[in-house]
């Protein structure tokens, strides 16, 4: 149990059986009436964001989550299977839990970080920087621009990012998946 004075960003709470992470909080002390804490909470499993107000000093149930390495193995079309690196068990997760923005960069044998609650992996986070092969892009023509130009490139996972004109099909590039941004070519 914790009090509202213990709130901090990233703290995980159990509210009505659901796991919520605090993304924003503000202690408010109005001139009249009791103090309260205004928060924004993100559901760990669904990603839904809600605003909730707590009375100052109100007790809440905190949850301790662990992080564990998991490797993406395969998909059966509906579920995505990850192997827990500690127990070697296969963990099935739905696409909704993983999130559309992460699925664009998910590649077989990719090492990810699993969020563990009560010994069970409930969610995964992909690495921020991923290395993927360019499978389709237009050829860059030297002299097209005076400045560094860009062109769209489709990666092996289906994600599309803008890359410099000199990047060609078959090259492996490093991408910041949180910003859908090209970083560099990977030397082989």
What CATH number is given to the structural domain containing 134?
2.40.50.140
From 62, 84, 103, give the residue that closes a domain: 62
| Calpha distance 34→19 (Å, rounded) | 27
Which of 145, 148, 110 lies closest to 126 in space, CA to CA? Answer: 110
On whether both 70 and 40 belong to a single domain, the answer is: no
Is the same domain home to 92 and 118?
A: yes
| Cβ pair 161, 180 in contact under 8 A | yes
Give the pLDDT of the chain (188 residues) as one tens digit per residue: 888 888 998 889 999 888 998 989 999 999 888 999 999 998 887 778 899 999 988 999 999 888 899 999 999 988 999 999 888 899 999 888 888 888 999 999 999 999 888 888 888 889 999 999 999 988 876 655 556 788 899 999 999 999 988 888 999 999 998 888 999 988 76
Residues 72 and 104 in one domain: yes
User: How many Å is the Cα radius of gyration of the chain?
Assistant: 22
Question: Where is 100: in which H helix or E strand?
Answer: helix 100-103
Q: What is the distance between the terminal CA atoms of the chain, rounded to a whole angstrom?
A: 51
Cα 80 to Cα 123: distance, rounded to the nearest angstrom: 11
Quick count: other Cβ atoms within 10 Å of Cβ 108? Answer: 11
Whether 73 and 48 map to the same domain: the answer is no
CATH of the domain at 48: 2.30.30.30
pTM, entire model: 0.73
71 and 120 housed in the same domain: yes
Q: 7 and 35: one domain? A: yes
Residues 113 and 74 in one domain: yes
Cα–Cα distance measured from residue 67 to residue 22, given in angstroms and rounded to the nearest whole number? 18
Closest CA to 182 of 165, 155, 163: 163
Domain boundary among 18, 44, 62: 62
Look at residue 144 in the predicted model and tell me its pLDDT.
57
Number of domains in the chain: 3
Full residue range of the structural domain in which residue 46 is found = 2-62
| Torsion, Cα of 15, 18, 22, 26 (10° steps) | -30
In angstroms, the CA 183 to CA 178 distance is 12
Do 6 and 56 lie in one domain? The reply is yes
- Both 21 and 35 in one domain: the answer is yes
Boundary residue ending a domain (108, 125, 142): 125
* One domain, residues 150 and 170: yes
């Amino acid at each position: 149990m914790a009090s509202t004075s213990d709130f901090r960003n990233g703290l995980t709470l159990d509210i009505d059986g659901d796991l919520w992470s605090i993304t924003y909080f503000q202690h408010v002390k109005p001139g009249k009436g009791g103090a309260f804490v205004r928060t924004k909470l993100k559901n760990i499993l669904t990603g839904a964001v809600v605003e909730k107000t707590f009375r100052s000093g109100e007790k809440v149930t905190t949850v301790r989550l662990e992080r564990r390495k998991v490797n993406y193995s395969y998909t059966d079309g509906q579920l995505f299977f990850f192997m827990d690196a500690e127990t070697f068990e296969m963990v099935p997760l739905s696409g909704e839990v993983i999130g559309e923005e992460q699925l664009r960069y998910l590649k077989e044998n990719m090492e990810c970080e699993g969020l563990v609650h009560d010994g069970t992996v409930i969610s995964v986070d992909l690495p921020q920087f991923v290395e993927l092969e360019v499978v389709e892009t237009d050829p860059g023509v030297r002299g097209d621009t005076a400045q560094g130009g860009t062109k769209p490139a489709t990666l092996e996972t289906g994600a599309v990012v803008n890359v410099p004109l000199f990047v060609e099909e078959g090259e492996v590039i490093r991408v910041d998946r949180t910003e859908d941004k090209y970083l560099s070519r990977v030397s082989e």
